[in-house]
């Protein structure tokens, strides 16, 4: 990346421009081995703008190794965050030792069915707890009905429904070996949208 040009730097992240419409985001937690104490975040968090909070969790989500301090930070973010911030740390929450609490938290998030729904499904899949399968199966049925009514995925809403359906499908295959969900992954590879087909193939190959 010899041609990259620094165009923005925050407390937690650097943004480089590589080309006319190509950007590269660099987390200081990953490159600079940045560390943060829980009391420091608690002192700063409520003063941050929405953009600054998102900037922090985006950078923090790729931190290589989590310490006890990081576990405390994640617990704080669970209490004080929002859908905009939780989506970035959903997968990292699965590394906390209190697995039952994390499952309960993630299931509550998917019941809310916000724009971060696929991130929470992915986290539950990684958590590997089959007790989550019942709720995911109900969501699977909801999205299957929506997909059946679609001619294509030409709108942002219909494309998002396809992503949610595929996310539920792969999670159910991994959590409980659902043949019905596996058939859904197969059938979506012929859905009349190349983007959806590609994602279905990728999810099928990652089972």
Write the DSSP string, 107-142: HHHHHHT-TTHHHHHHHHHHHT-GGGHHHHHHHHHH
What is the extent of the structural domain holding 161? 110-207
Q: Is residue 161 part of a domain?
A: yes
Tens digit of each residue's pLDDT (9 = 90 or more) over 22-31: 889 999 999 9
Structure tokens at 110: 């998917």
Q: Is residue 114 part of a domain?
A: yes
Tens digit of each residue's pLDDT (9 = 90 or more) over 23-72: 899 999 999 999 999 999 999 999 999 999 999 999 999 999 999 999 99
Q: Is residue 41 part of a domain?
A: no
Find the helix packing angle between 99-112 and 83-93, rounded to 10°.
140
Q: Is residue 87 part of a domain?
A: no
**How far is the CA of 70 from the CAs of 29, 58, 136, in angstroms?**
12, 15, 29
| Residue 1 in this model has a pLDDT that exceeds 60 | no
**pTM, 2 dp:** 0.89
**Residue ranges with strand state E in the chain:** 5-9, 13-19, 22-27
Query: Domain count of the chain?
Result: 1
| Residue 201 in this model has a pLDDT that exceeds 60 | yes
Q: How confident is the model at residue 19 (pLDDT cuts 50, 70, 90)?
A: confident
- DSSP summary character for residue 190: G
Tens digit of each residue's pLDDT (9 = 90 or more) over 103-155: 999 999 999 878 899 999 999 999 999 999 999 999 999 999 999 999 899 99
């Amino acid at each position: 990346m010899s041609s990259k040009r620094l165009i923005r730097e925050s407390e937690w992240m650097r943004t480089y421009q590589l080309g006319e419409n190509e950007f590269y985001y660099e987390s200081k937690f990953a490159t600079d081995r940045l560390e943060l104490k829980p009391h420091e975040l608690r002192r700063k968090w409520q003063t941050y703008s929405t953009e600054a909070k998102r900037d922090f969790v985006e950078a923090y989500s790729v931190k290589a190794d989590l310490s006890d301090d990081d576990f405390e930070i994640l617990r704080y973010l669970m209490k004080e965050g929002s859908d905009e911030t939780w989506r970035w740390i959903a997968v990292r929450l699965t590394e906390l030792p209190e697995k039952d609490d994390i499952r309960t938290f993630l299931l509550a998030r998917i019941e809310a069915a916000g724009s971060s729904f696929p991130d929470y499904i992915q986290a539950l899949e990684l958590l590997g707890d089959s007790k989550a399968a019942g709720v995911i199966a109900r969501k699977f049925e909801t999205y299957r009905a929506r997909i059946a009514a679609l001619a294509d995925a030409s709108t942002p809403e219909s494309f998002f429904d396809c992503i949610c359906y595929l996310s539920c499908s792969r999670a159910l295959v991994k959590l409980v070996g659902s043949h019905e969900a596996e058939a859904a992954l197969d059938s979506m590879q012929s859905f009349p949208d190349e983007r959806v087909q590609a994602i279905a193939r990728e999810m099928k190959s990652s089972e």
